[in-house]
Chains A and B, each alone.
Chain A
Amino acid sequence: MLSALVIPVIGVGIIASLISDSTGAFEKFGFWNFLFSDDWVTKSGSESYGALPFITGTLLTTFLALIICIPFSLPVALFVGEYFRGRKIATILSTVTDLLAGIPSIIYGLWGFYALRPIFMHLNLSPQGSGILTAAFVLAIMIVPYAASLSAEFFKMVPSDLKEGAYAMGATQAEVIRRVVFPTAGSGVFSAYILAIGRALGETMAVTMLIGNTNQMPDTLRTTGNTMASIIANQFGEADGLKLSSLIAIGLLLFLITAFINLIGKILIRKAQHV
């Protein structure tokens, strides 16, 4: 029973440490000011830090990744959970997606940088090849496995008598999927995508290598930027004083956002599993 204490200690400790070490930044700039300022001046004497460009960068890459991810993860989930359920080809595809999920973030970053970036440049999608669009594209590939394998579980859980009823009425398989499978599995699939968002929000290395690392507000999807995770990865090492505290404050915000999204996802998924 004692071992179970480790988790609360770590969990509460994380929140306490993040809060206590970020007070410097919040006291200096004020909570709301820090949140909505787009200054990032590191020159000593006129130091001024704000989190807005990075919050924007994180939200932009995440939602763009989600939009790119859906047209691929949904077919994979249907392939594994409905069309070829239990067959060998479905096992092969789910092994492939499992392996995709296992590839370390830094290797996704390398591949994106050396293989995808030239293609993006060639297609004239972004001037330097790296930027929000490139980062979101790789991020989408990284979250497809999570979204797909979780949604497939919910597609498998749809009772077959419901589907058989629809078939008996003369529905085609596509109609059964649209009218029976989607409505029944909908809430579970929705929660799967929420959890995929939670993953994308905190993804660090691949995004850091591809987003271009500039600290101004991103104005289009083709420009470079920074996310909350990538600014920490880039600048934490040489930071001290006010800058360190500001970076930890960004970490606290990132932690709170991901915790919130994950909590909603988990509550929804528990509900969906008990129906």
Chain B
Amino acid sequence: MIKDKNLAVRIAKNKLVYILVCVLSGLTAIPLFAILGEVLIKGWKQLGWSFLTEATPNAYKALMAMQAGEPVPGGIANGIIGTFLMLIMAAVVAIPVGVLCGICLSEYRKNWFATIVSYLTDLLQGTPSIIIGIITYIWVVVPMKGYSAFAGSVALFIMMLPLIIRSTEETMKILPETLKEAGLALGGSYWRVMIQVMLPSAFGSIFTGILLAISRVVGETAPLMFTALGAAAISWNVARPMSAVPLLIWEFFNDPNLQNLIWGASLFLLVFVLCLNLLAKRIAKKWKI
């Protein structure tokens, strides 16, 4: 009798743990939908052609429009252009350097230098983004005597680099050794095998890593605050301060007159980042090694 009761308790406990795990896991999904819902509901009204093609209004214009009961004019075109320009400049350098470095790390695994580089990559990846902002300020903004989009792209480059190195290294490590041996046996030189055999087979995973790295840095605000600074007008000059979408959100957050634009800008950023993430997942699944 006692034994049976004991068993019943154990089974009940088992059920309880199961239900608890399911309920708590379900609760974790709530913030995602709460954030998506909040940004969608408040943001979609603002999105429109002019929102994507016009520059940010100044506070006075916004105040006048608000007092007249009209929607705040203008948009976030200056931020969109800045984000893409800085992102492209950073990616153009970070992708080749990162991929090559990742290949080196996976090839010279036992080498002491590679071990140090590997640990430093981890260190750099874990460095808070605000520190990257300070460093770029010291390295680029101070010597150039001014904030610039170039400094912003340097900050994004430093953030992207370890992410790309890591993903490339992980990918190259799981490629079968026989693939390389087959290439070498056919008489290909070492680097020819690397570039014509190994890289194409790893392309899907490396590409996924690059997309994820971009989606990680595109929403970064802290490293841009003391580097690209932000600018109200549309600008293509990389030696001058430039805005970016996350910087604009920060600006709108701090300026009560511009607060009406905040959700549209957030929606744009959120949709862009989440689409990049989903796309990366898709590609990773399709091109699985």
A-side residues, CB < 8 A to B, are 1, 3-4, 6-8, 10-11, 13-14, 17-18, 21, 71-73, 75-76, 78-79, 83, 93, 95-100, 102-111, 113-115, 141, 144, 148, 172-175, 177, 195, 198-199, 201-205, 209, 229, 232-233, 236-237, 247-248, 251, 254-255, 258-259, 262-263, 266
Contacts and interface: CB of A to CB of B under 8 A. Distances in A.
Contacts of A114: 38
Given A10-B124, A78-B21, A102-B277, A4 B104 contact: yes
Given A6-B101, A93-B29, A105-B219, A115 B119 contact: no
A173 B16 CA distance: 11
Interface in B157-201: 158, 161-162, 165
B138 interface: yes
21 contacts: A4-B117, A14-B131, A72-B24, A75-B20, A75-B23, A93-B29, A98-B277, A104-B218, A104-B220, A105-B219, A105-B222, A106-B219, A106-B221, A107-B266, A111-B34, A195-B126, A198-B126, A236-B133, A251-B130, A255-B128, A258-B127
A262 B14 CA distance: 36
B246 A106 contact: yes
Nearest to A251: B134
Contacts of A11: 120, 123-124
A75 B21 contact: yes
B135 to A, nearest CB: 5
B126 A18 contact: no
Interface string B192-222: 0000000000000000000000011011111
Interface string B262-279: 100010011001101110
A103 B277 CA distance: 10
Contact of A205 (B10, B21, B222): B222
Given A99-B274, A204-B222, A259 B123 contact: yes
Contacts of A106: 219, 221, 246, 249-250, 253, 266
A63 B162 CA distance: 27
Contacts of A98: 277, 281
B234 to A, nearest CB: 22
Given A10-B158, A75-B23, A110-B266, 11 more contacts: A72-B28, A102-B277, A105-B219, A105-B221, A108-B35, A173-B17, A195-B126, A202-B129, A236-B133, A258-B127, A262-B122
Contact of B253 (A73, A199, A209): A209
Interface residues of B, number: 77
B39 interface: yes
A111 B35 contact: yes
B31 interface: yes
A93 B25 contact: yes
A100 B105 CA distance: 30
A198 B131 CA distance: 14
Those 6 A-B pairs whose CB atoms lie nearest each other, nearest first? A202-B128, A104-B219, A262-B126, A172-B14, A75-B24, A174-B17
Contacts of A17: 135, 138-139
B257 to A, nearest CB: 17
Given A14-B135, A115-B34, A258-B128, A174 B18 contact: yes
Given A75-B20, A114-B38, A204-B130, A104 B269 contact: yes
Given A7-B162, A104-B246, A175 B127 contact: no
B27 interface: yes
A141 B31 contact: yes
A233 B222 CA distance: 7
A13 B139 contact: yes
Contact of A229 (B34, B113, B128, B138): B128
Nearest to A208: B222
B226 A237 contact: yes
Nearest to B105: A4
